Structure 1
């Protein structure tokens, strides 16, 4: 859903105060147990360089789209894990700049980060946005040698509408879904997914403006399309592991979305973890996401360990 900075500040004061009051207050469902690689074993504070505004779409694409690539300065020639990051904005706006602080933190921890843009509704209707990400995912593999990326350790990370697209990409890759053709394929999936404030089932809302302009109609008019555009509809037993985080007071993407998604993943035997950000709404969960980032880094270290770890 859209993330908008609104003025005056007084309108945000209750949300900000609640975030301060509940800072560090989280509930971790399916928290890992036993011997785990502690965070201090991961690289920290690595230098990195950024290659900005690389066009990843082919020359005949309806709109040229760019990505920023964060390349950590790691020693030797060992292959490195990567994360494709996708911003939110209600499928209609914002930019990949929203993900820049997250990209920097992950690059300092040794991840090659590919922070991508995608086309917006209503000019471009779904599945245009998913097709963009499918092309971006192929592009990462095409440059894996140049960036020293381990193609078996590529994760997806998104928030809000970006989380919807990342989750959908992970779940339809290599399946018989109509959404996987013609731009997808088994190599457009992920080894793990970090998904925050996820619109997992578009059918759980009334068809508001954002969904109508994305889907070119209401759910009543296009029920099959709404189902197929929902990540929960595509859950299967071979889904990658998911780390979900969600604000318990989210009134834009209600907590029911996270609960429904987690239950669907678990019902098919998949590994899923859920971090509730207690007392936080949709926007404050993103603005004050530090604990979720830390948990996500630990999750990726467990789910995408180095070959010799």
Structure 2
């Protein structure tokens, strides 16, 4: 290997290490400067099930879930995580969330990594209804998979984070909870990155217009209904948010304003701001954010 090739390889290895320390982690007490020690951290073997349809036969589109089962001790209930990929509500696949699903499963979570219907063919709230159906499916298998149904969390990035957060607040809004909501849709906590929390902030961009089915002026009620920030109350599940400060696709004020509203309503939340990263690099260099997020989820479930 020549000097130039070695130099590029060294740069590729060093950049993630340099970025790892470039973050600001906040909770309601201010900056989190010392991560909690995690002694005897669990690391379970994982069984991968064949992808299965989670939607009923009469659903507008057949949708599949990928399930990972941790090899936890018999007779013990375990938490579950519903994972939802990004892609502007109209592309990408559960492949994007596989590494996060594996990490959660190794920590003892049953993970359910789902596909959902895409815009513009299927507009809001079709995607939320898909997730509500996925939650009902998880509940229907809770006994077989030994899931504690009070300890189901939502995990997503970008539009996937938007959808799991919207699922988290859907119980607060009758128009979102029906017809597929109800008790099965309740999340114990949310881990979301690059989350579009207020759709009014977008300048009638194509992705949002196609997701909603019109501009802000044409569909103001739907824009508000589809924006998690407007539905936060004291019953909103705890949120861990991570976001790139240089995010040009979903500007960082989506995270900072949402975080402020969560705290104002007394919702346990943390904000992990990644410096020098945009929307895509925030996801690609997500390692430390995800670790902090899983630690947050663990604490919420333990304190529940």
Does TM, scored on the shorter chain, surpass 0.5?
Answer: yes
Match of 1:94 among 89, 92, 103: 92
Q: CA deviation at 1:18?
A: 6.9
Match of 1:234 among 227, 231, 235: 231
Question: 2:37 aligned with 1:38, yes or no?
Answer: yes
Query: Cα gap change, 1:16/1:212 in structure 2, threshold over 3 Å: closer, same or farther?
Result: farther
Match of 2:137 among 119, 136, 139: 139
Aligned equivalents of 1:283, 1:182: Cα separation in 2: 34
Q: How does 1:108-127 map to 2 (within 5 A)?
A: 108-127=106-125
Q: Which runs of 5+ in 1 are unaligned?
A: 1-14
Match of 1:250 among 230, 241, 247: 247
Query: Cα gap change, 1:212/1:176 in structure 2, threshold over 3 Å: closer, same or farther?
Result: closer
Match of 2:262 among 265, 274, 278: 265
Aligned equivalents of 1:273, 1:291: Cα separation in 2: 14
CA deviations on 1:35-78 (whole Å, 9 max, x unpaired) are: 9973234312x111111321000100000000000001112210
Q: CA deviation at 1:191?
A: 0.7
Aligned equivalents of 1:184, 1:209: Cα separation in 2: 28
| Structure 2 partner of 1:168 | 166
Q: CA deviation at 1:161?
A: 0.1
Q: Which runs of 5+ in 2 are unaligned?
A: 1-11
Q: SS at 2:248's partner residue?
A: coil
Q: CA deviation at 1:19?
A: 5.5
CA deviations on 1:81-140 (whole Å, 9 max, x unpaired) are: 111100000000000010001111111111110001100001101100000000001111
Aligned equivalents of 2:152, 2:237: Cα separation in 1: 11
Q: CA deviation at 1:16?
A: 10
TM-score (norm 2): 0.91
Query: Cα gap change, 1:295/1:207 in structure 2, threshold over 3 Å: closer, same or farther?
Result: same
Question: CA RMSD of the aligned region, Å?
Answer: 2.3
> 2:173·2:231 contact (CA, 8 Å) conserved in 1?
no
Aligned residues: 292
> 1:55·1:67 contact (CA, 8 Å) conserved in 2?
yes
CA deviations on 1:252-279 (whole Å, 9 max, x unpaired) are: 1000100111111111111110001111
> 1:87·1:159 contact (CA, 8 Å) conserved in 2?
yes
> 1:37·1:301 contact (CA, 8 Å) conserved in 2?
no
Q: CA deviation at 1:163?
A: 0.3
Aligned equivalents of 2:297, 2:36: Cα separation in 1: 10
> 2:20·2:288 contact (CA, 8 Å) conserved in 1?
no
Q: CA deviation at 1:207?
A: 0.8
